[in-house]
Structure 1
Amino acid sequence: MSFEFSGFDGAPFLDLPPGLFGYALIGIYALGLLVVLAFQGPTFRRLTGLRWLGFIGLTVLGAALAQLFILHIPANILPPPGVPTEPQRPGFALFALVPAFLAGGWLGVGPALVVGFVTGLTRGLWETYSLVTPFDYAIMAGVVAWCLRQDYRGWPSAILRHSAISGPLVGLILWVILIPSYYAYSKITSLSGLDYVISLVWAAAPVLIGEAVLAGVIAELAQAAVPAWWPRRHGFAPPPYLASLNRKLQFTLIPLFSLGIALLFWADFTIATRVSANLVVAEMSRAAQNAGRGMPMFVQTGGNLLNRIAEQGDWFTGDSLSQTARLSESTRSLPFFRQLTLFDSGGRAVAGYPLTAGDNFGLTGDETLLVDLARKDGVPQNTTVYTSTAKMPVEVLFTVPIKDPDTQKPVGVLLGRTDLVTNPIMQSVTNNLEGLAGGAGEGFIVDDQGIIIYHPNPEQWQQRFEPNPAAAPVVTALSGAAAYEDRAPDGTRQLVLVYPAPGHSWSIVIRVPHRVVLELATQISTPIVVIMLLIGLMGLILVSLIASRITHPAEALALAAQRISEGRLDQPVIVDGEDEIGRAGLAFERMRAKLRARLDELSLLLRVSQGVASSLNLNEALPPILHGALTASGAAGVRIILVPNEELPLPLSGALPLHQAFAAGPSAEMMSALDRGVLVLTRDEGRAVIENLARARAVLDVSPVLGKLHALLALPLRHAHAQNHYYGALWLGYDQPHTFTEAEVNFLTTLAGQAAVAVANARLFEVAEQGRQRLAAILASTPDAVIVTDRNARILLLNPAAEAVFELGGKLVIGKAVGEVLPNSELVRLLQDHLAGPATGELETASGRTLYASASPIIGADGSILGQVCVLRDVTHFKELDLMKSEFVATVSHDLRAPLTFMRGYATMMPMVGPLNEKQQEFATKIITGIEQMTKLIDDLLDLGRIEAGVGLAREACQLDEIVHGIVDTIQPAAMIKGLTLTVDVPQNLPVLSGDATLLRQAIANLVDNAIKYTPSGGQVRVIVSTEPDKFRLAVADTGLGIAPADQAHLFQKFFRVKQRGSTQVKGSGLGLAIVKSIVERHGGRVWVDSRLGKGSTFYLELPQNGVA
């Protein structure tokens, strides 16, 4: 393993494919890429300025990182077949795919394809020199980009949106695209070329997967760091495999089936390859073994034949010609030796055939040495002789001594010469080494020095053979043999077997190309593969048919469910079969039928309800019910009988009150004879279901209709919201025997309920109409003006008196806002601002009359406020009387002041005249006390009149906290004397109040003084001041006796005093609270009380900050 920073050191180069397959593959890739980019046109048009810069930057970065930071991984790669070059190790560019993955997540599929293509182009120019490499990287980048930007729902789609998962996963799946990519540039298209491609793919696949893993992790970190650049995906779109049950089954079964077939194919070819290798090695072993068996025979036969020739008589008794003739005869009779030579005891050649006489007959030094050894030692010898010309066969020399028959001493040597090509015995050996593996293999013989002494190819004679000890061994059953896998000179794999011949120094070598194994494996596996493909094809078709068979009924059920959900219930659900889906289809059909019947009933009920709701006239509301009952039941007639509104007791016999009847159906008139009995039956028994009318004589007199009606259903008309009041009966008669179902009875009971509602509504409307008419008569005759408004202060009702007061006769004012109708602003404010509670007020009309307005909220049954009702009474006369009374009281009070002053003066001077006894002193004191009380009453009356007249109201800026503290400090001693706790709660930094400080002091003092007077000893009095936006609120709370609700309404009236136990000893005139009310109202505020008997009272005083409301 080695690391290289930059791979741009060489010249860029792109090689062309050597065959048509490569051009076709490039054309298909290019066309596909152009089509995808055309569909991705909108993606490029959406790129803004920043994204265009990012796209260009990522493209340049991808081209640069494709050949930077390269890690070269060692791999066992075959050399290119037919090319005398060393295989190139794959380069792992660590960050090559990072820009493409970033472009996919940030910019989209189209930009990712372009960045991936540029990255692959750089790899092709400097690394693979292939035109297919850019498309490999573009496919990888495009698929990952699609995974990152898809918006399908479900957990598989969710995890694919993470590049750290989708990158490695896509790499694991798409590495197979390297097989056609590398095969396109293989110069050999046979199985040897495919073998080379597979070895190259096994080395390059980890590189591609590693680049995808590293790029996926980096892109995931980039997404976590800058999530705003990544598109937000919510997973709303349904994935294709969830579009239907058929697709779900196909997306599940077809990949599993295909994967199973692929695994079976791989296992089949792997096993076939292993079996083929074993078969080829076994064939090599048999050939080597057969050849090895012939070699000892060759040596032994050569020695025996030559020895037999040597023993044929005395070779040295004749001349050279006779010796040559004998050698010639021996050569022809025994065609083993190519040449025979006779040597005398001195080692000189004396005769030979087919040689001519000469010095040693042209023997080499080794051959002469071999003759000398046989002559001297008397032992047969043999050796291998290499010819001077490499293309000549290697010769084998045999020598045997010729011995004297008497002494058995060597007297000469006979030499036999043969070669491994023409020797008849060696031909049987070499025949075993030829035609191996269908002629693709080769076998040859090497000697102990590794020199090839026989080879079918003469070019290989006398070449050296050396076994490869580092080669991968291959198992062989041949004892003593060694088999291994080696590389042929052309770079392809081959099997080699070396077998030393038993009893000889020679070895047999057999070499077979590995393509023979692949071809044999192909021959073995092809039928199985074809069968598997056929089974796979049939399986896929079967899977599709099964899926269609399973899903077609399910789709029919889905369509039926959709039709049912859309309310289309007229088409039946037809699903055949007895399985679960068939039973579900049957259940759906039953449900459809019931739903349709139910919807028909509901539709009928809707029409009936609309008829009931559309009219309160029974002549219009009841006929739809009659026709609905007639349609739903199939009865011969239906009748509705109503008792009078003021129902009388219904006796069992005798006259009945007149009743009202409504009927429909051909037998309805005939059925009227049973009306009286049906009313009595339903009133006393409730619902009556009679399926055999002839047997109902005990409960009903059926003699008038016997034989005409056979069944009857009578239902009482009762309304639960009208205290289960009995209105009459709805009953149906059947001219044929009839069995009533529960659903039928329930539906007709519902219709009876609708009829009861219609009757109840009609009678309630009659009562309400009478009440309305009475109310209208009352409102029309009352002299007081009455105005009714809703919660939004819109006019709902004006009586004639109100129209006359505001001169609105003949104008359409109902539904309009009070501000648009009523001319008096005080009245408008009263109706708009006091919706939550009752309110009163006085207002002046344009004619100068004074009206007293009293507005109260209208409370609904649920407690909500529905509106207001306001009654206006003309109090002009009472105001005049009150004014006359005030003037009279003021005059009398003013005239009484002088006499009271004289009386007080003379009463106080009585002791000056002379001493007074105790009784006189008591009377004088009582006179003075009465005068003081009278004076106080006169002062209060005069103050009240002055305040009501607005005389003497001096507005100035005053501090409310100072006024309160001053009053409390003044009254505190009186509270302490009575044993009360007087506390003050006034916030700091109160705003300035605009008002009359003297009058305000008097009002607050009156409230505090009253609280002290009416609170028993030991109680508490609290003065609390709070602020609201633009308002002051003062509360005087005590723990005194409390005030009854009936007295609270009159509490602020003049001269009114609460008369209850515990308050009679308190002296007063009843003007204090009236003065408080007048002062507060003159300042634009309001005063009210909140009191509970026995719990105490709290008087509230609210003033606007500027003194004007």
Structure 2
Amino acid sequence: MGELRRSGNAILRAVTEIAREFLQNDQWEKNVTSILGQLGRAARVCRVCVFANTTLENGEPAFLLRYEWIAPHTASYLVDSSRWEFGVPYRWKGNTFERWASVLGRGEVIAGPVDHLPPQEADALRQQGVRSVAAVPIFVGEKWWGFIAFDECTHPRLWTDDELDALRSASSILSSALERKRMLDQLEQHTAEMDILSQILRALNATPHVDEAFPRIVKPLRRLTQAERISITLFVENNAAFVVTSLDAPNPKLGKGTRLPIEATSAASDILNGRIHLTPDLAEETDWPAEQLLYRAGYRSRVNIPLTVQDRVYGALNFAWSYPHGFDHVSIPLLQRLADAIALAIERTHHLEREQNRRQEMESLFRTAAALTTNLELEEILEHILNYLEELTHYDSATILLVEDDHLRVQAMRGFEHPEVYMARRYPLEDPYFRRISETGEPILLEDAMADPHFENWDDHYPIRGWLAVPLVVRDKVIGYLTLESRKPGAFGEKETRLAQVFANHAAAAIENARLYRQAVRLNQELEQALQARTLLIHRISHELRTPLTLILGLAELLQSNPEVATLSEPTRQLIANLVQEARHLRHMVNQVLSLKQVEHDPLNIQPIDVRAWLEHTAQVWTPVLAQKDQRLHMDIAPDVGEVQGDRTYLQQVMDNLLDNAHKYTPPGRDIHITARREGDHVLIQVRDEGIGVPPDMLAQLFEQFYRVERKETYQNKGLGLGLALCRQIVERHGGRIWAESEGEGRGLTVSFTLPY
């Protein structure tokens, strides 16, 4: 009995050790074999396997071997030909171990000699050389993730309750590590995607032409998709053909400038209808000329994303891979957002080209009207148009109607007694005059509208005599029309028609500009929201970690303070001390994340602060800390520094963060300096070290959230890169500024900040 209890205690000690490993190391997967080895040796088994649930292509549930450890001295007991293969999915249904899915999925343990298992299961395990097994389920959140199996190969072992409880504890620790890894991987992927999206948007906004921006966006696109071929194809000849306008690929087939008829590709129908086209394996579509060319060039899979703006398809953004299903690991919605941004850039390019031609043609006669296109607020644009038209045509009333979905709606009007009544109305697209304008694209001029049956029911308005309607056209599509009305018959003629058409053309362009502007604003807002969501996600993760972390730290500290700990061996006491230390460090990082939000919103407790007394007190606190690395602290405080107004708690946090960085990145035996002097209406405080320094091109980024200078000298110093970002928030809230200076690597770093008097 004592031996069995010692076995359970040994497993618990191993669990404590791996808990410390998981807490202090986000890269625990690199050492997972060693970690499983600790468990295996403590449990006195010959093999430890971790299996993860997965799904086959047909949707069937399956499982696969994710991690494995085999005891060297017992490897000969295992039969290689019957062992599980890494990464190979085994379906649950119809499998020898199908029963395990229901048992483990309920959270129950399967344990005991294989002779106690159903015959098929026992035979399968015996073929592998297994004599006894303990399979413990792993749950991540509420979801059954997989299971961890402990195999004994030397004798038919019976597992005690203490041992099974210890194995369940190991499963719980592994569950926490997997959940943490999942959140960190998700955060890292989301951050990387947002950074790439930001790079691409900046490149597109930097030039009016997509062809010029394409070389700059290819690299982030390739990093995002791992595609070997990236191209943009645009439709020409009223969508009868497509041309490769931009390309980045090692193989020249289907190269830039290639023109093919629309029926040459299987993707045409989907793209023209605004749908994404996925080709899992080009080998199955070689009947199409375009697909055959790609297949011969060595590509096996492809995705085509339509470039669409307001239901108009310009072409497609295309990716190809040299292996089937290359797009499986790619976020298709993210690619669609990128395609939308490129489509807007193409639309902007086409629009700018059209506007340039219009301005050149009409500048001498209609310079004022052309200036309307510089305004991006739709309501203001329409008001300007009606104002200018009133001056030139002397109408009594005017209306601008635009197509919205399946109806016409009044967007602006002038000269009506109750405009709100008309603005609220919806007019059918079947209106005979709008249908005629849409079909012909030509103005309609009536000398006396009262003679037309269409105007018989206009009793709530003055009698319309002269009436003129001109189309608002964008890309050969009528998006609405402008009407002018007069009480006088024959009030409008050729001159008024020409002027109205000119203003209608500018109105259409300005309306399109405003729509594009709103789309660009919305896209930028989505990007900003995505970046804010990233920060919020990090904050929420930190907030969610704080409660379990506090519990872990409290239990660890309680364990450390237990008098019985003194009776344990020195290595065991050190393990407990390490657990407490690493949990405190993790709590410090979580608190830093939460402090960013707190500093942003909490009111400052402003009080007079004696700068000299404050800094001398700081030096007294930090001198013994620095002495641990044989570092010396030097003070140089000018006699006239006086007092500043500030929040002592937050400003102390600034000094503590700066000195902590100087301490961590300065080698033993070097000096750290604090200086303070008056500069005009500010006090200048500096912390200078003689440490590893920072390359000049990285100085500006030091104060960004989550930024760290990644060098081999910094790997041993763990952190989130929030200390200096927090310093900047605090200093700027006090009306000061903060910056860093360094002459380069190995030349130390000086961080300076100012505070107003």
- TM-score when scaled to structure 1? 0.21
The answer to which structure has the higher strand fraction is 2
